[in-house]
Structure 1
Amino acid sequence: MVKARTMEFVRDRGTFFWNLLFPFLLVFGFSFAFSGNPEGIFTVGTLGQPPENYTFLETEGIDRIDYDERDERLDSAVERLRRHQIDMLLDFDNQTYYVNREAQGSQLLLELFSGFQSSSPHPPLNSATVSGEPIRYVDWLVPGVIGMNMMFSCLFGVGFVLVRYRKNGVLKRMKATPVSALNFVSAQAASRLMIVIITSIAVFAGTNIFLNFMMNGSYFNLLLITTLAILCMIALGLVFASRIKSEELAGGLLNLVTFPMLILSGVFFSLENAPAFVGTVAKVFPLTHFIDGARAIMLDGAGLLEILPNILYLGGLTLVFLVLASFLFKWE
């Protein structure tokens, strides 16, 4: 059954090459489209409550992120500054401001802030500097593109295909064979797991040859969280495939799930400036936990302990989806 499903996918040349070429096109397209350096907008993070009438934060061209609302600690906020994700950090609790002098536009921002402090009635903040290698957009993007391709491949490659089998009577005929429901569903999942892992590795390795991604963590950890995320997506696809018999309904429901994940999981753009409740909603989606974990490994060199919450969430959600799919599954 595993071989049959795998060969069915491989022999469909259009689908096979699209699953490989589409992520390549996205990665290269976005890497060139956003290879320039943005100008004119500064992102300033804050910790603690600023004094009243702190007009610097209301200056045109400055976008404020309040890390208190996001329960961020000082070290994690400073790390964001070190990675050039923000341009300045104002710590009102410790009366200190941090700046990364290696960042583009840091000198202009310092001049603006110094001018504000010299004319402001508020006590001046002490200065501190950090340094760090900037993250290219393509380094940040790759986990999102791999996750997006993985999501579509798993949900539509399992959920949509099984619904088509049910509609065409394939599952009804399978019911008369010695193949049990567990055998059949496990074979579909195993085939899709193998296909998506190979595809993800090929996309990562192929684009890395030309773009040389930042990779500060372990490849084993990256493969581990990728495998768990694929299993979770496959299990979710099985839930949709368990009873639905209409391809149109299946496509609509799958799109209802995939598009919120595509928008809120931070595939293409960071939710750093989004309201705090948006980040809370995004944490529900398995794609968010894969992307956050993969980026932590690649960009921050996170180990197993740091990504353990993401791993536990993906593993637990996989079990829930598998139990639900097995309970709901019908041949006809």
Structure 2
Amino acid sequence: MNIKRFFAVFKARNIEFFRDKSSLSWNLFFPVLLLVGFSFIFSGDGRSAYKVGWIEETKKIQGEAIQNPFKDTRFIDFINYKDIEIAKGKLSRHTIDLVIAHHRKRYWVNDESAKSYLVEKIFSDKLEGYTRGQTRGKKIRYIDWVLPGILGMNMMFSCLFGVGYVIVRYRKNAVLKRLKATPLSAFEFVSAQLLSRLFIVMFMSVIVYSGCNLLFDFFMLGSYFDLFIIGMLGAFCLISLGLLVASRSKSEELIGGLLNVTSWPMMMLSGVWFSLEGAPPALKVFADFLPLTHLVAGAREVITEGATLADISYHVNCLLLMSAIFLSLGSYFFSWNAER
């Protein structure tokens, strides 16, 4: 590992990016435009669906319990929770509208939530004989909830396309072939590309978040340091995936298709726009194999639940494991030449 050669490639790639004014502007203003748009589209409580947290019973109690008398109510989603405190925490943040522990004959409402009040009225006849509990807490706006998804999606596109297209263009224009004739090793080149893109992505994300925070005053319960770490791990993993996808391709048209196939499932199924709570189990299992899922979920838990890195260790470990797999495969399949 020669530091001078590594730094020369690292510096050249950064200068190339920042001189491209259109790309720089897109990375700065695209997430801002999305946040502004969604803040208007989803402002207020105009959506008709309600969510009720349902406390799952133990196996013994489940065998004795009668059928749920609430779930025949239309237009209300029931989300199962094993931990009452987790469910109450979500209720206090207005994420769900009511919590019911059927076996204990107890339920909880959020007195500061209009939707919680309405759901209690809807179930008023069925809740007779239940003990009423209350929670309070600051409401998490949709824009606060969707923020990690938008920033994560922006990072995903920047990581995948920023690395994939560049490497394919270098390979197609024989830049990689010329670099192969220099003392620069494949490890030095790939490391410089990876760290350069990581620096650019995190730099742009910090600027976008800071600027939007002045405008929207985002909700934040956790540590900014933990948020930065999970963001960096997610970006590193996505860059590694971009290197893997571009490791052999020599066509810009092909790499465009491959990157779209890679990015679109993550954009739709990684919890960017909507929660996967209540989704079919098979869909959740598939989403667990997507790097963006762990980036968004980890960042969202830090922001809205005050989670620490230890609390989101599952997402951290998944991102580290995926990064190791993607880097190993990308290094193994990497080709300097345009010819296969």
1:280-321 CA-partner distances (Å, limit 9, x unpaired): 221111111111111111111111210222112111211111
Q: CA deviation at 1:143?
A: 0.8
Residue 14 of structure 1: which of 22, 45, 54 is its match? 22
C-alpha distance in structure 2 between counterparts of 1:299 and 1:85, whole Å = 10
Note closer, same or farther for the CA distance 1:105–1:241 as it changes in structure 2 (3 Å cut).
Answer: closer
Which residue is 1:257 aligned to? Answer: 262
C-alpha distance in structure 2 between counterparts of 1:167 and 1:145, whole Å = 32
Equivalent AA in structure 1 for residue 326 of structure 2: F
Equivalent AA in structure 1 for residue 110 of structure 2: N
Q: CA deviation at 1:60?
A: 3.1
1:90-126 CA-partner distances (Å, limit 9, x unpaired): 11232211211211133332222222345xxxxx332
Which residue is 1:137 aligned to? Answer: 142
SS in 1 for 2:96: coil
Q: Unpaired segments of 5 or more residues in structure 1?
A: 119-123
1:219-271 CA-partner distances (Å, limit 9, x unpaired): 11111111111111111111112111111221111111111110111111112
Note closer, same or farther for the CA distance 1:131–1:276 as it changes in structure 2 (3 Å cut).
Answer: farther
Say if 2:77 is the partner of 1:63.
Answer: yes
Equivalent AA in structure 2 for residue 52 of structure 1: Q
Which residue is 1:52 aligned to? Answer: 67
Say if 2:188 is the partner of 1:174.
Answer: no
C-alpha distance in structure 2 between counterparts of 1:41 and 1:325, whole Å = 44
SS in 1 for 2:219: coil
Q: Is the 2:110–2:117 contact (alpha carbons within 8 Å) kept by the matching residues of 1? A: no
Q: Unpaired segments of 5 or more residues in structure 2?
A: 1-8, 57-61
Say if 2:191 is the partner of 1:186.
Answer: yes
C-alpha distance in structure 2 between counterparts of 1:244 and 1:39, whole Å = 45
SS in 2 for 1:331: coil
Q: Is the 2:100–2:106 contact (alpha carbons within 8 Å) kept by the matching residues of 1? A: yes
Q: CA deviation at 1:208?
A: 0.2
Residue 279 of structure 1: which of 275, 278, 284 is its match? 284
Q: CA deviation at 1:135?
A: 0.5
Q: Which aligned pairs between 1:116-265 and structure 2 lie closer than 5 A?
A: 116-118=126-128, 124-265=129-270
Q: CA deviation at 1:53?
A: 7.0
Greater shift, 158-167 or 204-213, is seen at: 158-167
Residue 100 of structure 1: which of 106, 110, 113 is its match? 110
C-alpha distance in structure 2 between counterparts of 1:184 and 1:108, whole Å = 59
Which residue is 1:112 aligned to? Answer: 122
Which residue is 1:79 aligned to? Answer: 89
> Percentage identity across aligned positions?
48
Which residue is 2:5 aligned to? Answer: none
Which residue is 1:121 aligned to? Answer: none
Q: Provide the aligned C-alpha RMSD in A.
A: 1.6
Q: CA deviation at 1:39?
A: 4.9
Q: Is the 2:109–2:117 contact (alpha carbons within 8 Å) kept by the matching residues of 1? A: no
Note closer, same or farther for the CA distance 1:39–1:315 as it changes in structure 2 (3 Å cut).
Answer: closer
Which residue is 1:91 aligned to? Answer: 101
Equivalent AA in structure 2 for residue 77 of structure 1: A
Greater shift, 44-53 or 302-311, is seen at: 44-53
C-alpha distance in structure 2 between counterparts of 1:217 and 1:117, whole Å = 35
SS in 2 for 1:114: coil
TM-score (ref. length: structure 1): 0.92
Greater shift, 271-280 or 27-36, is seen at: 271-280
C-alpha distance in structure 2 between counterparts of 1:53 and 1:184, whole Å = 60
C-alpha distance in structure 1 between counterparts of 2:209 and 2:18, whole Å = 20
Q: CA deviation at 1:155?
A: 0.6
SS in 1 for 2:77: strand
Q: CA deviation at 1:18?
A: 0.5
SS in 1 for 2:250: coil
SS in 1 for 2:311: helix
SS in 2 for 1:64: strand
Note closer, same or farther for the CA distance 1:219–1:53 as it changes in structure 2 (3 Å cut).
Answer: closer
Greater shift, 8-17 or 124-133, is seen at: 124-133
C-alpha distance in structure 1 between counterparts of 2:119 and 2:194, whole Å = 53
TM-score (ref. length: structure 2): 0.90
